[in-house]
Amino acid sequence: MSQHNSYHLARTAAAIVDRRDRGWVVVSGADRRSYLHGLLTNDITALQAGQGCYAAYLTPQGRMIADLWVYELGDVVLLSMARDIKPAVLTKLDQFIFSEDVQLGDVSETFSATAIVGPRAAAMVAGAIGSSEELLAALSGHGNVRVDFQGQPSIVLRTSDLGEQGFDVLVASEQVTALRERLHAAGAVDADADAAEALRVESGVPKFHRDMDEDTIPLEAGIEANAISMTKGCYVGQEVIIRVLHRGHGRVARRLVGLTLDGTAPPPSGSLVKVDDREIGSVTSSVSSPALGKPIALAYVHRDYVAPGTVVSVDGVAAVVTSTPFVS
């Protein structure tokens, strides 16, 4: 199926997005939430069974180790993160277990995750796993529920990081083929990599090791509204975040912004952003937007040029700073 068709179905019906790029870690033990609360940027102790949140894990210097999704399942916390940073995250988490009742487990091979996104995702997932569409549709942001799939325990997570609202369904690895067959039978299609990337960039969702990395302060990537609690107690890297927010009034040297470009081809990652002859930043992600019919990009630019409407150029092509999401 062409990118355009699978993109269209993701926006109007439902599409399956590959999640082999995700790593999954289980945190168990009576102290799991208070332990994570002291390490991550969001309010973990407030999570009740069936709830979750987005968070960042920072160094003491306020730079990112990872961004991750935290799901309280009722008896364990499930963490979702980019698979390539999972070993580093596991190592660092392990270093901070002292006398706490906390155990860590890597379940990336135990479970296989499949994402289904689009307006009909709840109906498709419910039909495939034999659950209630109303139950799934009622899940709040980052909500989660345990279900049974073919006699085995499975997990459904509400997701938004793919650019279109949907779900991650985690089933035993040997069951993933059966799950996908049922989803296909219900009418879901596989979104290819280009379609999935278009959904993400149109929504302005930054991706770790693409739009942010170990040198990034969360405020530069613009994830603070979703990932950082401004009311919780101490966490690793908090002093730097508070200093920037209060003394610096949130001003960082550069910020991730959206760019809408003239021309027909999306600029390669790393393309220079300029105003006149002054280099002010560079592109991190770009796509040809099916919804807008033109190239769009995410780019870091100097803080003096972040206002929507600012005219810039990318490799000599005219562009304008655009607020994200590009497509609501």
Residue 234 lies in a domain: no
* Helix 193-202 / helix 3-12 crossing angle, nearest 10 deg: 50
> What is the arithmetic mean of pLDDT over 178-205?
95
Q: Judge if 147 and 50 occupy the same domain.
A: yes
Laid out side by side, the sheet with 111-117 consists of 144-149, 152-159, 166-172, 111-117, 15-18, 189-190
Question: Rounded distance, CA 71 to CA 78, Å?
Answer: 5
The secondary element (H helix, E strand) that includes residue 261 is strand 254-261
Q: Judge if 39 and 172 occupy the same domain.
A: yes
Q: Judge if 28 and 101 occupy the same domain.
A: yes
Q: What is the CATH number of the domain that holds 307?
A: 2.40.30.110
Q: Judge if 43 and 122 occupy the same domain.
A: yes
The count of domains in the chain is 2
> pLDDT for 97-116, tens place per residue?
999 999 999 999 999 999 99
* Cβ count near 134 (within 10 Å): 9
Give the whole-number percent of the chain exceeding pLDDT 90: 94
Q: Catalogue the E-assigned strands of 63-138.
A: 64-72, 76-82, 103-106, 111-117
- Got the DSSP string for 18-40? E-TTEEEEEEESTTHHHHHHTTB
Single-letter residue type at 129: I
> pLDDT for 51-84, tens place per residue?
999 999 999 999 999 999 999 999 999 999 999 9
Distances in Å between the alpha carbon of 46 and those of 30, 36, 300?
A: 15, 11, 33
> pLDDT for 222-277, tens place per residue?
999 999 999 998 999 999 999 998 877 778 999 999 999 998 999 999 999 999 99
> What is the arithmetic mean of pLDDT over 266-292?
97
* Cβ count near 56 (within 10 Å): 29
Characterize 159-187 residue by residue with b for buried, 16 or more Cβ atoms within 10 angstroms of its Cβ, and e for exposed.
Answer: bbbbbbebbbbbbbeebbeebbebbeebe
Residue 310 lies in a domain: yes
> pLDDT for 294-306, tens place per residue?
999 999 999 999 9
Q: What is the CATH number of the domain that holds 105?
A: 3.30.1360.120
* Cβ count near 141 (within 10 Å): 13
Segments forming the whole domain that contains residue 304: 253-328
Quote the mean pLDDT of the chain. Answer: 95
> pLDDT for 7-31, tens place per residue?
999 999 999 998 999 999 999 999 9
Question: Strand, helix or coil at 9?
Answer: helix
> What is the arithmetic mean of pLDDT over 270-285?
97
Longest CA–CA separation in the chain, Å: 63
> pLDDT for 264-276, tens place per residue?
999 999 999 999 9
Give the up-direction half-sphere exposure of residue 72: CA atoms within 13 A in the CB hemisphere.
20
> What is the arithmetic mean of pLDDT over 37-42?
97
Whole-prediction pTM = 0.95
For tokens 């968070």, the residue is 55
